[in-house]
Each structure stands twice: as structure tokens, then as C-alpha cells.
């Protein structure tokens, strides 16, 4: 059994070495028919992520040789697709975004546009990091929806957009919580107002409204005298709106106690 394993391993090594030798010969040759055949073999017949990456160098040569022909069109598309399946979404995004511009009438233009948008989706980080890529991904997917309104991928795009928007929503929500926790009352207040305008149906709306009232109270208590009365009145008004919107809220006891303090303070004016 051990002897058989050694023989099998040795044969595999010989085949790999032979394959590498053939690949290098074709890569360096001037026979573009052989280049195209080997590139397609690596991409289609072998079909692994690593073999598709190996096909890139061959496809690049073919595209440079025949940029306006069918072989060049297929080569350019497959370069982008090979980068995509390998997980190099920045390189894939470049080629896939360029493809519809270079080949606007290609039947692969729709797929290329979608995959280009998906590259931005894959590059979108978790909510705690900078969300520039998330904004780009939403924009790219929306452009796809607008460009191909009858595409079978529309529902998928809309679901992905919803997920990306929730990521932005979560980041905005967590920023409000952080401002409140670090007693940056003014930033917490303004961020909460912006959040409620941007996400009126958010699952976080009760807590955001609570944080708005809470930080409004803290601002009023710490205000300079000339601003105090207006901020007390504003806090009382915000509390009344909160009570109407969330009468069974778990935050009611704390806010009610603060409201009593605000009403007592207001009597001084």
C-alpha cells in the first residue's frame, strides 16, 4: 500500500511538471491558437480557482492580440471572472466594470455589470469600519437595477441592497450609542435626529428616540442659562412624543423621572 502511494505521488508529480512545462511553452510561444486552447482548457476543463488564475496570463495575451474580435471579448470577460472566483475583487471589479464599456453589445454585458457590482459588495467591510465601499456597492447595484430592469437578478439585487443599507443603519445607530456613552450630548442629539429622518422604519427607532430624549435632558441640565429654558421645553416636548409613540417602553421609568425634573426646573422661568 505504501509502495502504491509512492508510485501514485510520483506519477502525479510528473504530470504536474509536464503540465507546467506545456503551460510555459505555450505562454512563451507565438501560436495564439494554442494559447487560446490552453486558456480555455484551464478555465473550462480543469475549472479550479487556481487553474482559472493561470489562464489569466494567456487570456491577457489573446486580448492584446485580438481586442476587437470574439476571442478578445471572451478573454477579457474571463480575466475578470477568473479574478472574481479567486477572491481578488479589486482586480475583478476593474475588468468586469470595463467589460460593458469595451463590449457594450456583448451578451455577457449584463452578467459582467452584475459581477462588477458584486465585487463592491464583497469589498464592503463590517459595519464598524469605514463604509465607503458599502456606498459604492449600493450605487453599483442600483445602477444595475436601473440599467437592466427586466433582469432575473433584480430581486437578488434588492435583497443585497437592503442588507447593505442595514449595515449603514447599524453603523449610524452605534455611533449614537457611542456619543451618548461618552457624554457627547450634542453629537448624540443631532445624530439621533438625522437617524430618525434617514431611517423612519428602523428596528432601532425606539432606542434612538430614547437616546434623543435622554441626551436632550442632559443638554438641558448642562446648558448655559440663556439656552436652558428653550432646551427644557424641547426635552419635555420630545418626551411627550416618545410616550405617544412607545407607551409600553422599557425606558419609560427613567424618562418619566427626568421629565418630572424638567417640569420642576421649568417653573423657575
Q: What is the pLDDT of residues 221-250, one digit of tens each?
A: 999 999 999 999 999 999 999 999 999 999
pLDDT confidence of residue 115:
99
Q: DSSP for 195-235, please give it.
A: HHHH-TT-TTHHHHHHHHHHHHHHHHHT--HHHHHHHHHHH
d(CA 76, CA 178): 47
List the one residue out of 157, 158, 176, 163 whose CA is nearest residue 131. 163
Provide the CA 156 distance to its chain's centre, in angstroms. Answer: 14
Mean pLDDT, rounded, for 98-106: 97
50 contacts 69 by C-beta, under 8 angstroms: no
pLDDT confidence of residue 47:
81
User: Residue 236's CB: how many other CB atoms inside 10 A?
Assistant: 19
Higher pLDDT: 18 or 252? It is 252
108 contacts 75 by C-beta, under 8 angstroms: no
pLDDT confidence of residue 26:
95
pLDDT confidence of residue 21:
78
d(CA 237, CA 221): 15
d(CA 108, CA 73): 9
Split at pLDDT 50, 70, 90, the class of 16 is very low
pLDDT confidence of residue 246:
98
Class of residue 26 by CB neighbours under 10 A (exposed 0-12, middle 13-18, buried 19+): buried
- The residue whose grid cell reads 488564475 is 53
Split at pLDDT 50, 70, 90, the class of 13 is very low
Question: In whole numbers, what is the pLDDT of the chain averaged over residues?
Answer: 93
List the one residue out of 202, 120, 103 whose CA is nearest residue 157. 120
Characterise 87 by phi-psi region: left (phi > 0), alpha (psi -120 to 50), beta (else): left
Split at pLDDT 50, 70, 90, the class of 6 is very low
What's the DSSP call for residue 69?
S
- The residue whose grid cell reads 441592497 is 161
Mean pLDDT, rounded, for 125-133: 97
Split at pLDDT 50, 70, 90, the class of 4 is very low
C-alpha angle 143-149-155 in degrees, rounded to nearest 5: 90
d(CA 17, CA 14): 5
The angle, 0 to 180 degrees and rounded to 10, between the axes of the packed helices 252-266 and 225-245 is 140
- Domain segments of the chain as ranges: 183-269
For the chain, first and last CA: distance in Å? 96
Q: What is the pLDDT of residues 58-100, one digit of tens each?
A: 999 999 999 999 999 999 999 999 999 999 999 999 999 999 9
Amino acid at each position: 500500500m505504501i509502495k502504491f502511494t509512492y508510485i501514485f505521488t510520483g506519477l502525479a508529480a510528473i504530470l504536474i511538471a509536464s503540465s507546467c512545462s506545456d503551460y510555459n511553452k505555450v505562454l512563451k510561444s507565438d501560436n495564439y491558437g494554442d494559447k487560446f486552447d490552453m486558456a480555455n482548457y484551464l478555465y473550462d476543463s480543469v475549472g479550479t480557482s487556481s487553474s482559472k488564475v493561470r489562464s489569466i496570463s494567456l487570456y491577457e495575451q489573446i486580448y492584446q492580440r485580438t481586442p476587437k474580435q470574439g476571442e478578445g471579448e471572451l478573454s477579457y470577460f474571463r480575466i475578470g471572472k477568473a479574478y472574481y472566483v479567486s477572491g481578488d475583487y479589486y482586480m475583478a471589479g476593474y475588468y468586469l466594470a470595463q467589460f460593458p464599456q469595451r463590449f457594450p453589445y456583448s451578451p455577457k454585458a449584463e452578467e459582467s455589470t452584475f459581477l462588477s457590482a458584486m465585487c463592491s459588495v464583497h469589498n464592503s467591510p463590517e459595519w464598524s469600519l469605514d463604509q465607503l465601499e458599502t456606498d459604492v456597492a449600493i450605487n453599483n447595484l442600483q445602477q444595475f437595477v436601473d440599467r437592466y430592469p427586466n433582469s432575473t437578478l433584480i430581486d437578488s439585487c434588492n435583497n443585497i441592497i437592503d442588507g447593505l443599507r442595514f449595515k449603514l443603519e447599524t453603523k449610524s445607530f452605534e455611533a449614537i450609542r457611542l456619543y451618548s456613552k461618552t457624554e457627547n450630548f450634542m453629537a448624540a442629539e443631532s445624530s439621533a435626529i438625522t437617524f430618525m429622518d434617514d431611517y423612519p422604519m428602523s428596528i432601532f427607532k425606539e432606542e434612538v428616540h430614547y437616546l434623543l430624549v435622554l441626551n436632550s435632558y442632559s443638554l438641558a441640565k448642562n446648558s448655559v442659562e440663556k439656552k436652558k429654558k428653550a432646551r427644557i421645553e424641547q426635552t419635555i416636548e420630545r418626551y411627550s412624543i416618545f410616550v405617544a409613540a412607545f407607551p409600553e417602553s422599557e425606558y419609560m421609568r427613567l424618562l418619566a423621572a427626568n421629565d418630572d425634573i424638567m417640569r420642576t426646573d421649568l417653573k423657575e422661568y
